[in-house]
Amino acid sequence: MNKKIIITISSLAIIISIFLGGNVGLKFFFHDYLYETPNLKGLTIEEAEALVESEFKLVNMGEHYSEVKKGEIYSQLPISPKHIKKGRPIKIWISKGMDTVILPDLKGKNMQDARAILSDLGIKVDRISHTMEGYMNNKVIGTDPSEGSLISRGSSVSMLINVSKIKNIRMPDILGFSLGEGEKILREKQLVIGDIKKVYRTDFPENTIIDISYPAGKDVLAGSVINITVTSQSEEE
């Protein structure tokens, strides 16, 4: 009885050894060893490349806003700690920083300079109001929200501009003009170019102005923001 048990155990051991040995052999043959994907979140690309070395291939999928510090990886696929074959790609997404900014102090800035600063931050100008205080002309004396406020990119702020003399401008008729021609006319009339919206139209040449936020002939204040709609021959616009 004991002899039969010993033989049975020995047989099982041989079978298991053959199975494991064969499996290891197959893994060696097909290079099928699996590696655990590391957690790359919070690392720079350089740090991630140094960590994975030659085990994985990093594929940069682009930059997007996130709560992770700018320049660091905020997402990856496959996620850690999934096991994948050596040499397989790991897709990574790089953070552009938080999608919010602190509104800078624009007081004393020329209106055009202030708009350029806001544009670089991804902030739009919603409304420009005018007042007559002192002798400074065309200078920012306040914003809403106020400086230091935390606001989202793509949101709008209003500006209060000081002028030595409030001047009415007759809104020029720029419908049918090209975008470049319309922008030149507005600047000459001391009007500020706002948002430029594109719509798909094939019955007009590319970048033809087909709508404006103020009707032609209406009196508007100098420095007013004029939004423009132009044609595009690309359906993706």
Residue 130: give its domain's CATH number.
3.30.10.20
Q: Which residues are CB-contacts of 117 (< 8 A; sequence separation ≥ 6)?
A: 104, 106, 109
Domain membership of residue 234 (yes or no) is yes
Residue at 159: amino acid letter: M
- The pTM for the full model equals 0.42
Q: Is the peptide bond before 78 cis (omega within 30 degrees of 0)?
A: yes
My answer on whether 122 and 150 are in the same domain is yes
Instruction: Give the separation between CA 110 and CA 172, rounded to whole angstroms.
Output: 24
What beta strand segments (E) does the chain contain? 34-36, 57-64, 73-77, 83-85, 89-95, 100-102, 124-131, 139-144, 150-152, 156-162, 168-170, 192-200, 209-212, 219-221, 225-232
Residues 156, 119, single domain; the answer is yes
Rounded alpha-carbon distances, angstroms, from residue 71 to 53, 65, 210:
20, 10, 41
Q: Is residue 61 part of a domain?
A: yes
What does the alpha-carbon distance between residue 211 and residue 224 come to, in Å, rounded to a whole number?
Answer: 16
- When pLDDT is cut at 50, 70 and 90, the band that residue 14 belongs to is low
- What integer pLDDT is reported at residue 174 of this predicted model? 94
> Does residue 147 share a domain with residue 181?
no
Residue 19 belongs to a domain: no
Domain final residue pick, 119, 148, 166:
166
pLDDT of residue 17: 54
pLDDT (tens digit per residue) in 25-78? 444 444 457 888 899 999 999 999 999 988 899 999 998 888 788 899 999 999
Looking at the structure, do residues 237 and 175 belong to the same domain, yes or no? yes
113 and 159 together in one domain: yes
Q: Are 125 and 178 within one domain? A: no
Nearest CA-CA partner of 115 in 2, 204, 224, 15: 224
| 160 and 184 within one domain | no
Same domain membership, residue 213 and residue 161: no
Where is the domain boundary, 64, 98, 132?
A: 98
In terms of domains, do 128 and 143 share one? yes
Please report which confidence band the pLDDT of residue 193 belongs to, taking 50, 70 and 90 as the band edges.
Answer: confident
Same domain, yes or no: 120 and 58: no
Cβ pair 212, 176 in contact under 8 A:
no
d(CA 118, CA 20): 65
Q: For residue 51, is it within any domain?
A: yes
pLDDT digits (tens, 9 = 90+) for 134-189: 656 778 888 999 999 988 887 889 998 887 666 788 999 999 999 999 989 988 88
Residue 4 or residue 157, greater confidence = 157
Shared domain check, 198 and 134: no
In a domain, 144, yes or no: yes
Q: Is residue 90 part of a domain?
A: yes
Number of domains in the chain: 3
Local structure of 158: helix, strand or coil: strand
58 lies in the same domain as 81: yes
Q: Is residue 9 part of a domain?
A: no
Element counts in the chain: helices (H) and strands (E): 4, 15
Domain annotation covers residue 213: yes
Q: By residue range, what is the domain housing residue 120? A: 99-166
Domain end, chosen from 132, 166, 200, is at: 166
Output the CA angle 148-137-173, nearest 5 degrees: 100
What is the spatial distance between Cα 134 and Cα 32, in angstroms, rounded to a whole number? Answer: 78
Is 2's pLDDT higher than 60?
Answer: no
